[in-house]
Amino acid sequence: MESDNPLVSVVIPSFNREEFINDTILSLQQQSYFNWEAIIVDDCSTDNTEQVVSAFIRGEPRARFLKRNRIPKGAPTCRNIGWIESKGDYVIFLDSDDLLAPYCLEQRVKFLRDNPDLDFAVFPMLVFKETPGDSNIFWNIQTDKDDLHRFLDFDAPWQTSCPIWKIEALRAISGWDEEALTWQDWEIHIKALVNQLKYKKSNSLPDCFLRRDEKEGRISSGDNADSRFMSRIKTFNKTYLIVKEKQLLDDKMKALFAKLYFTNAEKAALLGKSSVVYSFVEAIQERNLSMGLMITYVKLLLAISKSKIPFALSIAYKTLRTILPISLTQIQSNLFKHELKPEEQKRVLALLKD
């Protein structure tokens, strides 16, 4: 039975974050809710992260510093180590360059206490550049569209730090996929939805902040390396399989998976990545997701990309895309497109000052 003030475990994976991690831990120390523990799991950093964190937490008994002690390398492994080592009733995953509002833990714990049947709850997130409150842009907004469909349709309704999980829920879905190099939070949230974990999205004030530079994009954003494309294929394949096993693979889901595979194959083709393109093509064919000219299109695009003829790729892309179905090419994402209302932003700023 949970206490009146359940312990919240905040798991923070870290790799070469000496510049930002102090602020991340400080955002925990500033919480109005005091019963928390921080578990910082370092992914074998090569900078001064360990020294910075060790100095910071020396006088903070609620914080622990662990090093990844097994393979594979990566944030998913660190997150799994963290929540498995945790002692809390609830778990929040916080990236090492992002921040929590001072009222975050109090707000989330109350919400779960008021909704005891939930496995996890989701809270709004705002973007920031240098200081929380310097931007009023949402990560995303709530819509009437099915959340599972939104994740598959490039419109992720929430991000890593938005949910608070009951520890039993993480055990039920076996935590994070440690093989995933990218799209990691995409995978775990889809897994939670497909396994029908009970959840609710809060209409409360945003209580976590994502560091994002509008010019450079997300600091921890992935690149276009072949290994990351291949990792995505594995993640998509695993997700497709679990959706199929749960008997959720209707025509709508098949169309969303087709777009998912196709869009990544197209990107790889534009970059001239032959092996990646053919891996995506193979995955599309194995799952009978091909839509008319889809495979012919990506193969042709790849050939033009490899030809290195000036302007040919741009012309081909713009021309050939017009003959493809809109359902395959049109992406209507709400990511970073909506602003907090002025009166609500004032409330957030006032709470941050307090």
State how far Cα 117 lies from the chain centre: 24
CA distance 351 to 346: 9
Phi, psi of 132 (to 5 degrees): -55, 135
Q: Which domain holds residue 245?
A: 226-323
Instruction: Please indicate, yes or no, whether residues 90 and 172 belong to a single structural domain of this protein.
Output: yes
Q: Answer whether 0.85 is exceeded by the pTM.
A: yes
CA distance 121 to 6: 15
284 and 166 assigned to the same domain: no
Whether 173 maps to a domain, the answer reads yes
Half-sphere exposure (CA, 13 Å, Cβ side) for 263? Answer: 17
Q: How many domains does the chain have?
A: 2
Q: Does 343 lie in the same domain as 300? A: no
Residues 149, 262, single domain; the answer is: no
Residues 346 and 211 in one domain: yes
- Same domain? For 244 and 205 the reply is no
Are 149 and 263 in a shared domain?
Answer: no
**Are 41 and 147 part of one and the same domain?**
yes
Q: So what's the pLDDT on residue 273? A: 96
Same domain, 214 and 235: no
206-239 confidence digits (pLDDT tens): 999 999 865 544 434 457 899 999 999 999 999 9
Does residue 213 sit in the same domain as residue 295?
Answer: no
| 323: DSSP letter | G
When computed from its CA atoms, the radius of gyration of the chain, rounded to whole angstroms, is: 21
39-53, 214-228, 259-273: segment of lowest average pLDDT: 214-228
With bands split at pLDDT 50, 70 and 90, how would you rate the model's confidence at 248?
A: very high
Residue 332 lies in a domain: no
Torsion of CA 201, 205, 207, 208, to 10 degrees: 80
CATH code, 111:
3.90.550.10
Sign of CA dihedral 256, 260, 265, 266: positive
In a domain, 2, yes or no: no
Please indicate whether residue 216 or residue 298 has the higher confidence score (pLDDT): 298
Q: What is the largest CA-CA distance in the chain?
A: 68
Please state, in angstroms and rounded to a whole number, the distance separating the CA atoms of residues 13 and 76: 8
Let me know: does 96 contact 24? Beta carbons within 8 Å. yes
Residue 36 has pLDDT above 60, yes or no: yes
Residue 124 has pLDDT above 60, yes or no: yes
How much is the pLDDT for 192? 98
Contact 292, 258 (CB under 8 A): no
In the chain, which ranges are continuous DSSP H helix? 21-29, 49-57, 75-85, 104-114, 147-152, 167-172, 184-194, 226-245, 251-270, 274-286, 294-307, 312-320, 326-329, 342-353
279 close to 269: Cβ distance less than 8 angstroms: no
Q: Does one domain contain both 208 and 345?
A: yes
| 333 located within any domain | no
* Per-residue model confidence as pLDDT tens digits over 24-34: 999 999 999 99
